[in-house]
Structure 1
Amino acid sequence: MSFKLDANIWYRRFWGVVFLLGPIIGASQDMINFEHITTDNGLSQSDINAIYQDKKGFMWFATHDGLNKYDGYDFTIYKPQINQPESIGSNLIFDIVGDQDDNLWIGTTGKGLNYFNRSTEKFIRFQHDENNKGSLSSDHVIKVLLDSKNRLWVGTSKGLNMLDLKKMKDSAVFEHFYPEINSNEIFSRTNSINSLYEDDKGHIWTGTAQGLFKILRDKNGDQYLQSVNEAIGLPKTRVECIGSDNFGRLLIGTGNGVYVQMAGPDSTKIQKFHEGDFNKLLVDNNNHIWFGTNEGLLYFKNTNKDNVPILENHFKYDSRNKFSLSKNIVKSLFLDKTGIIWIGTNGGGVNKYDPERKQFRHVRKSLDPNSLSYDKIRSMYEDSNGTLWIGTEGGGLNMLKKEYDDGTYNNFRVFDNIQRTFALTEAFHNDRKILFVGAENEHGLYILDITNPNRIKEENIIKAEDVDTSVFSLLTDSQNNIWIGTYGGGVQRWVPNKDSKQYTKDVFINSPSNPLPAK
């Protein structure tokens, strides 16, 4: 005979799973699972300085030992080859960007800017030449940015360079930018470019050890670099990352905190909203903000243009959790075309997180005496009081009252007298709430009055009469009848008597001599 699963059973079982899944949003870091890609998976080295996705969907990773291309399964590694000038110039890769033809521009340490032709699989090196004023200003390239006008901006240890790809033919002529005369004193302390950013208005911003600079034009139309520290209220501090949110507000990550440009009449001014040393920032598809630091990954909710972003979570490496961040030093962040966030660490390879993917929290027995009593789960049920009941196969019956459900799942109370609990249901009888517990033993059914959850005691669990075999399934139907599935004893139906605490009990067993009529 075939049986159809009753909708009430499905609802109770499914809701039990959702109960554990639901509180994930906004909860602690162990509820986020990071996928790790390491040298065990083929990555050439574990320090990830930059991440990029090309138009074909391949992921590219800049490491301290070569350029890595990843197709989701396998890696292709590009490293310098002896006596092969068309190989990549250096194995120390700092940044990657693609152009309109999906070719790559790669910033290296020691071998300048490398151009990778995807069709020929060959590299061309652009390096500093003392005898060529139009060459790159330094062979130590830190940042590379392709702007909306098809201009390539190259930040080096000795200033900012620009290569107009529209005008580039047989040779490359780099234009060099120097700060305005009034900020020479500031800029001369270091020419190193830490970050580059183009905003939605096409403005180019540059982060340096002495603060924030912006490309402006003078009255003759010539471009120059100008410090904007004083204009926006930024102290003279190292700027490591620049971006903007979906409200159009400028975001600045520094060695002395992170700042946001506030809306209003004084919209040019910025406001610090968190202390710390920040390496990298990323705004996700929901306008929330992720910051990479030397102390882990910070996640800020960002829902109101009139308020500063609010710290929601701080993710760190945890040796006890294999799904935690792989290392604490986060040097690169990238949002791919599908919304997945890629995190590059120092020493821990690549981490992946998909915000749209449902995350399951693992609730298990731990050293905490109030944790789940046993990991082998046979039944789950939430009663009408909001109390969660979890039956285990060998660890008793776990009870979590609604008032103690703080999301940690370390406030369980355990009833040991029913070691192997396989089924749970609730029924109402004469204004009382009764929990029925099915177990695997010679007394398979137990009854507990749960009307007042504050008065529940283990000694109040009563063995039910007339059930002398294991009970593996229970159901309360729409008429408040209790259906009891036993092991070898058939199915029982208990119909509550309105005028007493008793039940009228029917037993349905298999009888070959009296089969059910065919329909």
Structure 2
Amino acid sequence: MEGNLWLYRLYFRVVILLWLPVSLSAVDLPNLTFRTITISDGLSNNIINTIYKDKRGFIWLGTQTGLDRFDGINVKSFLQFSGRTIFSIAETDSVYLWVGTDKGLWKLDRKTDQVESVTLDTKSLEVRSVFVSQTGRLLVGTTHGLFIYQESAFRKVLFGSNALSSINFITGIVEGYKDTFWLTSQGGLIEYNIETGQSKVYTYQDDEKFVSYFSCLALLKEKLYLGTAGSGMLVFDIGKAAFSICPEVENGYIKSIITVNDEIWVGTNGSGIRIISASTGKELSAIEHTSNADAICSNAVYSLLKEDDMLWVGTYMGGLSYTPAHGSLFSVYYYPELFNCYNMNVRGFWVVADGKKLI
């Protein structure tokens, strides 16, 4: 019986709890409550540069000095990444996690916890963006150009002949339409067709300002929402190939932008989260740090993730804030039309390597 009890504890230690979906639109924001985890809870650092949820439900945190995994209860730090700044995380399958750092690209085997350095060029390039397309193609944005993983090897793409130019300092990637990808860089917004290899660079200029440094981006319908390094958020109309300034977020360094239905959620470096209507361009609401214990831990928002009913907020020096789950945390296991363990006295079970379950 002790063996069964050990298996029972082990199983429930690794199971990710099922979150039941709850609406999280701007009208609900006054009722949001947050919990916060910091280095005292096991984080490697209180600066959270990126947040990624894998297909198993684990939350991965790229911090200023390491890689952490949060299972809803505990934080695990991967000491193999100790001292490295993590900028971006992605997965191409159920085993490998691709991690972009200040010291190159790394591949983590989640079955064995083994880490492998991935050679992109002759140098250990700083990797700011790791992106997986809808077809499973891996794109890696570095400080010296774009790398595309094809046939077990990386192909380098430069925009212009000078790898050291600001246009080749890639900061973000999203997938557009018809083989087109959009990339932000320190030298402008890049439109790149992966099949033809053709590219075009866009910068913003009016009578008062010139903007070429873009820090992040999000795509919604026919518009790109672009974070800048000091001029707030710009909107790029793809059909018109024209920029406009979002007057609701026209100042400051924008570190993260996500889309939620018809809303643009903007993580600012000092003013919390601003929620903008995509249809009107007006601010709907805001999430800010206050003296309340259940508020977000900082107004310097570096990363955002919205998945189902959960909102995750990575900050500068404040750690990670997240909305706790609503509804039941557990469901009864059943296999459609064949098996249902409801009202059964289950005394032991085992999940074998290929996923088969003995109950």
The TM-score, its normalising length taken from structure 1, stands at 0.52
* Map of 1:147 onto structure 2: 133
Counterparts of 1:229 and 1:149, CA distance in 2? 29
The one-letter code of the counterpart of 1:215 is Y
Q: Does 1:347 align with 2:327?
A: no
Counterparts of 1:287 and 1:95, CA distance in 2? 25
Q: Percent identity?
A: 25
Relative to 1, partners in 2 of residues 1:71 and 1:140: Cα closer, same or farther, differing over 3 Å? same
SS at match of 1:295: coil
2:174 alignment partner, one of 162, 176, 197: 197
Counterparts of 1:175 and 1:225, CA distance in 2? 16
Counterparts of 2:190 and 2:237, CA distance in 1? 19
* Map of 1:312 onto structure 2: 284
Q: Does 1:280 align with 2:256?
A: yes
Counterparts of 1:258 and 1:114, CA distance in 2? 31
Query: CA shift at 1:356, angstroms?
Result: 8.2
Query: CA shift at 1:300, angstroms?
Result: 2.5
Q: Is the 8 A contact 2:276 2:285 kept in 1?
A: no
Counterparts of 1:236 and 1:201, CA distance in 2? 27
Q: Which runs of 5+ in 2 are unaligned?
A: 1-24, 328-359
* Map of 1:213 onto structure 2: 190
Q: Does 1:127 align with 2:113?
A: no
Q: Is the 8 A contact 1:192 1:208 kept in 2?
A: yes
Relative to 1, partners in 2 of residues 1:141 and 1:196: Cα closer, same or farther, differing over 3 Å? same
Relative to 1, partners in 2 of residues 1:89 and 1:226: Cα closer, same or farther, differing over 3 Å? farther
The one-letter code of the counterpart of 1:43 is L
1:244 alignment partner, one of 211, 219, 227: 219
Query: CA shift at 1:355, angstroms?
Result: 11
Counterparts of 2:240 and 2:142, CA distance in 1? 31
Post-superposition CA distance 1:394-419 (Å, at most 9, x none): xxxxxxxxxxxxxxxxxxxxxxxxxx
Post-superposition CA distance 1:212-268 (Å, at most 9, x none): 012136xxx65144313379xx943211111122x44222222323122459xx633
Q: Does 1:58 align with 2:50?
A: no
Higher strand share: 2
* Map of 2:40 onto structure 1: 40
The one-letter code of the counterpart of 2:216 is C
Counterparts of 1:25 and 1:99, CA distance in 2? 32
The one-letter code of the counterpart of 1:335 is K
Counterparts of 1:339 and 1:287, CA distance in 2? 16
Counterparts of 2:124 and 2:30, CA distance in 1? 44
Counterparts of 1:25 and 1:93, CA distance in 2? 30
Q: Is the 8 A contact 1:79 1:91 kept in 2?
A: no
Q: Which has the higher contact order (CA 8 A, sep 6+)?
A: 2
Query: CA shift at 1:189, angstroms?
Result: 4.1
Post-superposition CA distance 1:467-517 (Å, at most 9, x none): xxxxxxxxxxxxxxxxxxxxxxxxxxxxxxxxxxxxxxxxxxxxxxxxxxx
1:254 alignment partner, one of 228, 232, 250: 228
Relative to 1, partners in 2 of residues 1:203 and 1:102: Cα closer, same or farther, differing over 3 Å? farther
* Map of 2:157 onto structure 1: 177
* Map of 1:324 onto structure 2: 295
Q: Is the 8 A contact 2:128 2:141 kept in 1?
A: yes
Query: CA shift at 1:44, angstroms?
Result: 2.3
Relative to 1, partners in 2 of residues 1:191 and 1:25: Cα closer, same or farther, differing over 3 Å? closer
2:243 alignment partner, one of 258, 270, 274: 270
- For the aligned residue pairs, the C-alpha RMSD in angstroms reads 3.2
SS at match of 1:44: coil
Q: Which structure has the greater CA radius of gyration? A: 1
Relative to 1, partners in 2 of residues 1:345 and 1:227: Cα closer, same or farther, differing over 3 Å? same
* Map of 2:106 onto structure 1: 114
Q: Is the 8 A contact 1:279 1:294 kept in 2?
A: yes
The TM-score, its normalising length taken from structure 2, stands at 0.73
Which is further off, 71-80 or 293-302?
293-302
Query: CA shift at 1:142, angstroms?
Result: 1.3
SS at match of 1:40: helix
Post-superposition CA distance 1:304-349 (Å, at most 9, x none): 3xx3x2112333322x22122211221111122x231211111111
Q: Is the 8 A contact 2:95 2:111 kept in 1?
A: no
Q: Which runs of 5+ in 1 are unaligned?
A: 1-23, 81-87, 131-136, 358-519
Q: Does 1:92 align with 2:85?
A: yes
Aligned length: 298
Counterparts of 1:224 and 1:179, CA distance in 2? 10
Relative to 1, partners in 2 of residues 1:216 and 1:351: Cα closer, same or farther, differing over 3 Å? same
Post-superposition CA distance 1:195-223 (Å, at most 9, x none): 11112544211111121012136xxx651
